Amino acid sequence: MTATTFDHDQQDSAARIDTLFQERWQVRLKKVDRMFAMLMIAQWIFAVLFALFFSPYAWSGKTRVLHTHVYVALFMGAALTLLPVLLAKYRAGTPLTRHVIAISQMLMSALLIHLTGGRIETHFHVFGSLAFLAFYLDWRVLITATVTVASEHFLRGVLWPESIYGVTNPEWWRFLEHAFWVAFEDVVLIWGCLTGMRDLKSAAAQQVAVEQLTEREQLKTAALEMALAEFGVTT
């Protein structure tokens, strides 16, 4: 085998590995897109039900009325849900879809936090959402989500702090505390994304190695059968 032939084989192998890797990643991306489409619809329904039955108590004491939060949950929830669902259906697997889903998911967390009057327990929805977004194995999606939630916390903390922190006069640096814990989780999730991508590439490389070995064995078998046939030996 000449050096040129060897280099050509190496390029073919690398191209085949990349093709398999992209195919497997696309399958994963589309599955996660569909998962988020269902999740966004479920969260929207939950937000409306929560606003209808519980939000008046969270914000208005013991008097139950048709609170304005019902309309907020209904229409804002629809706005946050419609685009991701449509993209997941018609543009599944594209970078645009997963980044829009990341933004919408973080804003849905913000909506739920608002509906609960800034209850600290609802903030865990942010951390759960980040973990779900890590299923994409795309660390850039986590950056988009982090910038979204940090910006939203900062702006709402300035304009209407009670809706996010549950108190009217929180410390000015409160949003930094939340951003720190989000960033802390990001470090672990980004490492997981990079590890997952390496595993996908490794699996693709192993499959290519098996394919090449099988091909070589088939060529050897064919050559042996041809040689036996020349001597009139049948197998």
Integer Cα distance of 77 and 72 in angstroms: 7
In-domain check, residue 108:
yes
User: If we measure between CA atoms, which residue out of 123, 121, 95, 100 comes closest to residue 180?
Assistant: 123
Enumerate long-range contacts of 30-33, CB under 8 Å, 24 or more apart.
30/92, 30/93, 32/98, 32/135, 32/136, 33/87, 33/88, 33/92, 33/93, 33/97, 33/98, 33/101
Q: Is the pTM of this model over 0.85?
A: no
pLDDT of residue 137: 95
In-domain check, residue 6:
no
In-domain check, residue 7:
no
Tokens of 127: 């951390």
In-domain check, residue 4:
no
Tokens of 195: 């590890």
Q: What is the pLDDT along the chain (235 residues), one digit of tens a residue?
A: 555 554 556 777 888 888 999 999 999 999 999 999 999 999 999 988 888 877 655 544 445 554 576 777 888 889 999 999 999 999 999 999 999 999 999 999 988 888 887 777 888 899 999 999 999 999 999 999 999 988 887 777 666 665 566 556 666 566 677 778 888 999 999 999 999 999 999 998 998 888 888 888 887 777 777 777 777 665 5
In-domain check, residue 190:
yes
Site of tokens 């108190």 = 167
Residue 215: count of CB within 10 angstroms of its CB: 10
In-domain check, residue 9:
no
CA dihedral 50, 53, 56, 57 (to 10 degrees): -100
In-domain check, residue 92:
yes
Q: Residue 33 sits in which domain range?
A: 15-230
pLDDT of residue 72: 78
In-domain check, residue 1:
no
For the chain, what is the domain count?
A: 1
